[in-house]
Structure 1
């Protein structure tokens, strides 16, 4: 089966829907944060941590998703993980305490593993048009961020937060359909076999391997010997911290400044517009800018947008906050698209699914840290000024490992050139 054709675009559609639902659901939970805080009579950081536990627990489940994909198929893995995420949202709607809410939101983290498996399959299915494909799927994040926060605010006013949770569970049932769209990509056959797992029959003839060897194989732990891949993991750790901090606390931040709930939730919609622009502009940017150059440029842009937030907030400028939201999400989306492309360039096809899963692991670790520290900073200082300044600093700090790797490469090239010159 040739790449970039046929069913590959159905995988792109599945990635589009999964990104819209996964990110939109987290953002919707952020919109419900004030209601949840009032319902359970607790502090901001407690609810923020509960929400961040969703992608945080996703970090724990991602390696299992990769192993299960190799043991079964990506299709079955996505469908199982999606069902567990839906069950988590249903349980959250019935929660009577913060502890029960935390447990329920833990289960919703399974959606992150499902999304990562789909993204891994997308990378396998594409070659020439991969830039276009990931741009289309990234547009799904835009739809989720643009539509779901205002919709959640409206549903809360009509049905309350419990009814809204149930409706979110219904929307997330579409993730199961996304899993059903996955078919194994086979390079040695012209047809797909729906029920045929990825492993060929010859694999059954190989001798049994030790537990450690199986662990390395199913989790692709050899990826951690790749310096370029590890630097991307660290970058995604910072990206998860910054984006989740923005995702959860932007609406409460705007409401704390005195803006109305609908005005505040619309700021997230503007961020979604920025993400949509990134999806449109990224293929164009790739025609004239290398992956690493675009990563540096867009990271500086997102750092600048987060760093200016305290200044704009001091003037209570809604227009300024809207501009910074759009700028931050646009830059962040382009940076993540560059990371996906760089991962595909340095990782073999048979390891791409687990590579995307490990990328999501580090993202989730950053997300759960942000849910706690950004909310705790607000509780200590009484405003979000320091929180957004920390987001800005971490955004820039996360780029340092990639810079070190690049400088090391430049030094090796110069050293090799000098040796050649001496020999000549």
Structure 2
């Protein structure tokens, strides 16, 4: 099982970062003042996909089998490449290279294998922004939230339907929870929150904290809902709205907390990779917990616990940032 986990963890983490980071960086550079609005509107497509894709994949699976369905979905995913090619950064000026820079570029003296490996490792660390964790260890508090968010979202999506079926809800109504009720909450959350942030009615940080607390409470209330379909629908819509917002405003939270330090983009690059890793680990850990307890309620309770830890880490990070600024 651990081998399968690692085999999926690496490509998923790497693939998610390749898909999300260019779009994230593009919007950070192109819309520095209204990033929350533009990034929030861009995220509405994911909410629509959450409602549309599951029934389509189910239909494709029944028609072509799992392999055929996955091949068709993989081909459909190539639209990301086409639309990505259409994206352009705002035009900027070019600065003439200094003479010493040109000389250093033309230096083609042979180097031994050790120096080449050292240069490659240094470039890799720089590219992944991992140097940030060494230079500014305080940021590790904030980065902890990213994999936890990925874990909560993936586990909630994977176990929402079987959890409802285990409670005695018919399979059609259980699927309705995920594709429609959860999706509608997800879509409404992503449609409304950009305008709240853009009009400065609430900061991204406090919206993140409040919605994580709401998410925590709704996960803990899941056990009390039992087999009440209406209560499960209400909780699914709350979770959908909260998940749709907190996963999408975390870059805005990073921007609020660390904009003055000048390494927001580095945080977002590392965080996106950690989010992808969290998605794989979240599903694995929630599944392992179900195997041990034979109860989806325990898995949902663990998601509430992770949401509470996420909130706590962000509050500690905010407090640490204030204390650090006051001492300097």
Distance 1:326 1:214 in 2: 44
Specify whether residues 54 and 148 from structure 1 end up closer, same or farther in structure 2 by C-alpha distance, changes over 3 A only. Answer: farther
What is the Cα deviation at residue 264 of structure 1? 2.1
Do structure 1's residue 247 and structure 2's residue 165 form an aligned pair? no
| From 251, 255, 266, the counterpart of 1:344 | 255
Q: In structure 2, what is the equivalent of residue 182 of structure 1? A: 87
Distance 1:175 1:186 in 2: 23
Do structure 1's residue 237 and structure 2's residue 147 form an aligned pair? yes
Do structure 1's residue 113 and structure 2's residue 24 form an aligned pair? no
SS at match of 1:288: coil
Distance 2:58 2:22 in 1: 31
Q: In structure 1, what is the equivalent of residue 130 of structure 2? A: 221
Give the aligned length.
310
Do structure 1's residue 274 and structure 2's residue 185 form an aligned pair? yes
Q: In structure 2, what is the equivalent of residue 125 of structure 1? A: 30
Distance 1:413 1:356 in 2: 22
Specify whether residues 413 and 213 from structure 1 end up closer, same or farther in structure 2 by C-alpha distance, changes over 3 A only. Answer: closer
SS at match of 1:180: helix
CA contact (8 A) 1:149 1:266 kept: no
CA contact (8 A) 2:5 2:284 kept: no
Do structure 1's residue 389 and structure 2's residue 293 form an aligned pair? no
Q: In structure 1, what is the equivalent of residue 110 of structure 2? A: none
- In structure 2, the gaps of 5 or more residues are 108-114
Distance 1:55 1:321 in 2: 31
Task: Considering Cα pairs closer than 8 Å and 6+ residues apart, tell me whether 1 or 2 has the greater RCO.
Answer: 2
Distance 1:414 1:132 in 2: 31
Q: In structure 2, what is the equivalent of residue 57 of structure 1? A: 11
Distance 2:261 2:325 in 1: 27
What is the RMSD of the two structures over their aligned residues, measured on CA atoms? 3.2
CA contact (8 A) 1:55 1:112 kept: no
Do structure 1's residue 144 and structure 2's residue 55 form an aligned pair? no
What is the Cα deviation at residue 268 of structure 1? 1.6
CA contact (8 A) 1:241 1:367 kept: yes
Distance 1:51 1:157 in 2: 27
Specify whether residues 322 and 402 from structure 1 end up closer, same or farther in structure 2 by C-alpha distance, changes over 3 A only. Answer: same
Q: In structure 1, what is the equivalent of residue 286 of structure 2? A: 374
Name the TM-score, length of structure 1 as normaliser: 0.65
| From 358, 365, 371, the counterpart of 2:277 | 365
Specify whether residues 55 and 332 from structure 1 end up closer, same or farther in structure 2 by C-alpha distance, changes over 3 A only. Answer: farther
Do structure 1's residue 300 and structure 2's residue 210 form an aligned pair? no
- In structure 1, the gaps of 5 or more residues are 1-45, 62-109, 190-198, 417-424
What is the Cα deviation at residue 333 of structure 1? 2.5
- 1:149-228 correspondence runs (5 A): 149-188=54-93, 205-206=103-104, 211=119, 213-224=122-133, 225-226=135-136
Distance 2:140 2:92 in 1: 28
Do structure 1's residue 288 and structure 2's residue 201 form an aligned pair? yes
SS at match of 1:183: coil
Distance 2:91 2:138 in 1: 28
| From 171, 187, 198, the counterpart of 1:261 | 171
Distance 1:278 1:53 in 2: 34
